Amino acid sequence: MSDELIVTYVENICVMTINRPQARNAVNGATARAIAEAVDALDERDDLSVGVITGAGGTFCAGMDLRGFLDGDRPSIEGRGFAGLVEQPPRKPLIAAVEGYALAGGCEIAIASDLVVAAETAKFGLPEVKRGLVPTGGGALKLHRQLPYHVAMELLFTGDWLTADRALQYGFVNRVVPEGAALDAALELARTIAGNGPLALEAIKRIVRESQDWSAAEGVRTQREIADPVFRSADAREGAKAFTERRAPVWTRR
Element housing 124 (H / E) = strand 123-125
Q: What is the distance between the alpha carbons of residues 207 and 75, in angstroms, rounded to a whole number?
A: 29
Q: Which of 11, 108, 179, 202 is catalytic?
A: 108
Q: List all residues 6 or more positions away from 131 whose beta carbon is below 8 Å from its beta carbon.
A: none
Residue-by-residue DSSP string for 5-73: EEEEEETTEEEEEE--GGGTT-B-HHHHHHHHHHHHHHHH-TT--EEEEEESTT--B-SB-HHHHHTT-
Residue 154 bears catalytic tag? no
Catalytically annotated residue among 4, 99, 128, 202: 128
Q: Are 181 and 120 in contact (CB under 8 A)?
A: no
128 carries an active-site annotation: yes
Of the CA atoms within 13 Å of residue 188, those in its CB half-sphere come to 9
Cα–Cα dist 155/172, whole Å: 13
Q: Residues with Cβ < 8 Å from 81, sequence gap 6 or more?
A: 87, 88, 137, 138
CB 251 within 8 A of CB 231: no
- Positions annotated as catalytic residues are 108, 128
